[in-house]
Chains A and B, each alone.
Chain A
């Protein structure tokens, strides 16, 4: 037995010799027996280790009490008996303190609080609903959901994925709201993919998403929205170390209108979706092909505004869309501490200088502004991508065939939308 302990502990010590945060404590409990306490300083809370492990061991030692059962000395809330040597590594790397005494190996959860805590949502702010958002801590995230859905039917199937990351992912659903068939389909789909390493929820979603263009997995960082979807009969994937929870398989309407029940807001959001996708295409079709559809005074106005512009309207539209995409990307990536210089510069160039220089017409600025303002309502990145693809497709078809081409592209788009596969029901 002594040999086992010595060799085993020695092996672990050698294994982690290049990890300075690995701590191995050897505590003599009598002349013969030793207790080994192993943990990672960076992953564990030293206070918890002292309170739950070391303090008790030293007390026992000082009072010369014999230790017959080590688990009675370890007072932490989550104590797991480790059955095999290989599992020691898993527990150590997951913020557990491993205690080896004689032939018994125990793992006690003493995770350090190394997340940023529950904060307000940055990507989905709202005025009147709950403000809290998920963080990077799996347990806290699960807690935020369970605080809202207090039901014994809330099922949480967990599995660790990734060769190096061993990220915990959980499929959460309410048993009596989702059919077994749907759950089996989701599980089969998840099992089908071998996730190499999972650092972000994106690593999962990019593999299991059924369509390349249109989003089917809704990402949210709001526990309230996750709870709403769970109650509606959706399943969600909770992934450790990411604040974004994946909702499987959301429909197009869920992306356009994820949480509100206000009918005016719902209509407004649908209108914005149509406007952001179609505005440039309709403008190009009208001024290049179907001028008869514009009232005469407006047509003259458009024509006057375009009189000094050297580019055809379609090139002008693409230039403006491209510049706006760059501005949008800059706005997202640029650190906020630098102030709003990028926005001001962009607004000056687009709003005034470009028009004065005769590169673009004022009406094109209005068209692009409508397109991008209505686009700002949608925060889901895959939906924004889908909108971008649809917008460019419609723009190209309308620049080739006018309103006829645009109608053709809309019909093809609807066919494609109807063809998107989801686990239950239809996508549109």
Chain B
């Protein structure tokens, strides 16, 4: 009897904490945050879950002194309960990126309703994206998520960090990159990468530096090198070793020939030579990326933080500039393409 009473008390006194009927939820797909006239203007894209309506999503907007108050104003007249656990992306204006990033992180870190795996992107024209009507039956947020996922798999030209990664850099006072999105030819596309330093938007990064950053952190599973020829580098591993006076960056992996220029397509071409040329090219490419950072006078690859991990007492602000770098590249071309096998000697002789 006591046991039954205990169970009943436990269940009945606790009530239905956190109970929500599914149809009453406003599932937020994307959050747009702008800063105008000393107020945050927030627009939320809510997914449409009503079968009878053809709209994919609805937009609700509100403004306020804080992000929280602007979001509350979005829902003040709505019949739905905001639900943020399925939010894919947060798109912020350049104004927010320049000056209000700390407010943004403060809000997302304090609120437990948010998952930490949504992406943050910058847009130079946030209203244009809000008004964008996708050509498929997906919401803006779902479209952006698909673009990011495709970009991660196919090339290393863009860096789109999710909130967890950003928070990690933010808490370690590291420099980090925020990607941006724009509408190009009536299509949503990823565009420039911006360097964020001291939680402020600093500058637009060169594509080559972004690629090096992606490779250095092993973010991308594959990346493409376009010298005179085109190669795809895959199954690679980049490693960074820190010595007292030297930082050693090594890259080892496999390469696939995508396209050779006309002189090399002959059958007697020596693959070892191509391999050596590729290694030299990648090595030079990486040295140029290091030079690029030195010219900017920004530790965009966070070598100082890396050095600090090993030699906390020896690091100073310019360590990353003064230290020597040694880059080793070991790539094996193991997929030559069909040209050497199927289009054989006879094909050229004829």
- Residue numbers of A with Cβ under 8 A of B are 287-289, 291-292, 296, 299-300, 302-308, 312-313, 396-397, 399-402, 405, 408, 412
A-B complex: 8 closest residue pairs judged by Cβ atoms: A292-B85, A303-B49, A296-B86, A304-B51, A287-B22, A303-B22, A400-B11, A307-B50
Contact across chains for B11 and A405 when beta carbons are under 8 A apart: yes
With A296-B86, A300-B47, A307-B50 known as contacts, the answer to whether A408 contacts B20 (CB < 8 A) is no
Q: How many residues of B contact A (CB 8 A)?
A: 28
Contact with A along B78-103 (1 / 0, CB 8 A): 00000101101000000000000000
Contact across chains for A396 and B11 when beta carbons are under 8 A apart: yes
Residue of A nearest to B16 (CB): A400
Q: Which residues of A contact B50 (CB under 8 A)?
A: 304, 307
Contact across chains for A302 and B22 when beta carbons are under 8 A apart: yes
* Interface assignment of B270: CB less than 8 Å from any CB of chain A: no
Q: Which residues of A contact B22 (CB under 8 A)?
A: 287-288, 291, 299, 302-303, 306, 313
Number of A-B residue pairs having CB atoms within 8 Å of each other in the complex: 67
CB distance from B324 to the nearest CB of A (A): 48
- Residue numbers of B with Cβ under 8 A of A are 7, 10-12, 14-23, 25, 27, 29, 47, 49-52, 83, 85-86, 88, 115, 142
Cα(A407)–Cα(B289), bound, Å: 53
Contact across chains for B7 and A412 when beta carbons are under 8 A apart: yes
CB distance from B56 to the nearest CB of A (A): 10
Contact across chains for A401 and B86 when beta carbons are under 8 A apart: no
Cα(A300)–Cα(B52), bound, Å: 14
Contact across chains for B10 and A289 when beta carbons are under 8 A apart: no
Q: Which residues of A contact B21 (CB under 8 A)?
A: 288, 312-313
Cα(A396)–Cα(B23), bound, Å: 20
CB distance from B83 to the nearest CB of A (A): 7
Contact across chains for B51 and A401 when beta carbons are under 8 A apart: no
CB distance from A411 to the nearest CB of B (A): 11
Q: Which of these, B11, B51, B83, contacts A291 with CB under 8 Å?
A: B83
Pairs A–B under 8 Å by Cβ, sample size 30: A287-B22, A288-B20, A288-B22, A289-B18, A289-B20, A291-B22, A292-B85, A296-B27, A296-B29, A296-B47, A296-B86, A299-B22, A299-B27, A299-B86, A300-B49, A303-B22, A303-B27, A303-B49, A304-B50, A306-B22, A306-B23, A307-B52, A397-B11, A400-B12, A400-B14, A401-B16, A402-B18, A402-B19, A408-B10, A412-B7
Cα(A372)–Cα(B325), bound, Å: 67
Q: Which of these, A289, A304, A400, A408, contacts B49 with CB under 8 Å?
A: A304
Contact across chains for B25 and A303 when beta carbons are under 8 A apart: yes
With A291-B22, A291-B25, A300-B27 known as contacts, the answer to whether A307 contacts B49 (CB < 8 A) is yes
Q: Which residues of B contact A306 (CB under 8 A)?
A: 22-23
Cα(A291)–Cα(B14), bound, Å: 20
Q: Which residues of B contact A313 (CB under 8 A)?
A: 21-22
Residue of B nearest to A308 (CB): B51
Cα(A7)–Cα(B83), bound, Å: 94
CB distance from A362 to the nearest CB of B (A): 11
Q: Which residues of A contact B14 (CB under 8 A)?
A: 400-401
CB distance from A357 to the nearest CB of B (A): 15
Cα(A215)–Cα(B224), bound, Å: 65
Cα(A304)–Cα(B137), bound, Å: 15
Cα(A396)–Cα(B11), bound, Å: 9
Given contacts A296-B86, A300-B47, 8 further A-B contacts (CB under 8 A): A288-B22, A289-B20, A296-B142, A303-B27, A304-B49, A308-B51, A397-B11, A401-B14
CB distance from A408 to the nearest CB of B (A): 7
Contact across chains for A307 and B51 when beta carbons are under 8 A apart: yes
Q: Which residues of A contact B47 (CB under 8 A)?
A: 296, 300
Contact across chains for A307 and B23 when beta carbons are under 8 A apart: yes
Residue of B nearest to A296 (CB): B86
Q: Which residues of A contact B11 (CB under 8 A)?
A: 396-397, 400-401, 405
Cα(A397)–Cα(B7), bound, Å: 10
Cα(A333)–Cα(B14), bound, Å: 42
Residue of A nearest to B86 (CB): A296
Of the candidates B10, B14, B49, the one having the most CB atoms from chain A within 10 angstroms of its own CB is: B49
Q: Which residues of A contact B7 (CB under 8 A)?
A: 412
Contact across chains for B15 and A400 when beta carbons are under 8 A apart: yes
Contact across chains for A291 and B16 when beta carbons are under 8 A apart: no
CB distance from A303 to the nearest CB of B (A): 4
Residue of B nearest to A416 (CB): B3
CB distance from B241 to the nearest CB of A (A): 40
Residue of A nearest to B142 (CB): A296
Cα(A388)–Cα(B15), bound, Å: 24
Cα(A305)–Cα(B23), bound, Å: 9
With A307-B50, A401-B11 known as contacts, the answer to whether A292 contacts B25 (CB < 8 A) is no
Q: Which residues of A contact B86 (CB under 8 A)?
A: 291-292, 296, 299
Q: Which residues of B contact A399 (CB under 8 A)?
A: 16
CB distance from B16 to the nearest CB of A (A): 6
Q: Which residues of B contact A300 (CB under 8 A)?
A: 27, 47, 49
CB distance from A300 to the nearest CB of B (A): 6
Q: Which residues of B contact A305 (CB under 8 A)?
A: 51
Q: Which residues of A contact B18 (CB under 8 A)?
A: 289, 402
Cα(A289)–Cα(B18), bound, Å: 6
CB distance from B217 to the nearest CB of A (A): 28
Q: Which residues of B contact A396 (CB under 8 A)?
A: 11
Of the candidates B29, B83, B85, B88, the one having the most CB atoms from chain A within 10 angstroms of its own CB is: B85
CB distance from B21 to the nearest CB of A (A): 6
Q: Which residues of B contact A302 (CB under 8 A)?
A: 22
Cα(A302)–Cα(B21), bound, Å: 11
Q: Which residues of A contact B88 (CB under 8 A)?
A: 296
Cα(A291)–Cα(B86), bound, Å: 9
CB distance from A386 to the nearest CB of B (A): 17
CB distance from B261 to the nearest CB of A (A): 45
Q: Which residues of A contact B142 (CB under 8 A)?
A: 296
Cα(A412)–Cα(B14), bound, Å: 17
CB distance from A366 to the nearest CB of B (A): 15
Cα(A8)–Cα(B19), bound, Å: 80
Q: Which residues of B contact A308 (CB under 8 A)?
A: 51
Q: Which residues of A contact B52 (CB under 8 A)?
A: 307
CB distance from A26 to the nearest CB of B (A): 67
CB distance from A413 to the nearest CB of B (A): 11
Contact across chains for A401 and B17 when beta carbons are under 8 A apart: yes
Q: Which residues of B contact A296 (CB under 8 A)?
A: 27, 29, 47, 86, 88, 142
CB distance from B114 to the nearest CB of A (A): 10
Contact across chains for B15 and A291 when beta carbons are under 8 A apart: no
CB distance from A418 to the nearest CB of B (A): 14
Cα(A405)–Cα(B17), bound, Å: 10
Cα(A292)–Cα(B16), bound, Å: 17
Cα(A291)–Cα(B88), bound, Å: 15
Cα(A296)–Cα(B47), bound, Å: 10
Cα(A426)–Cα(B242), bound, Å: 59
Cα(A288)–Cα(B83), bound, Å: 12
Q: Which residues of B contact A412 (CB under 8 A)?
A: 7
Q: Which residues of B contact A288 (CB under 8 A)?
A: 19-22
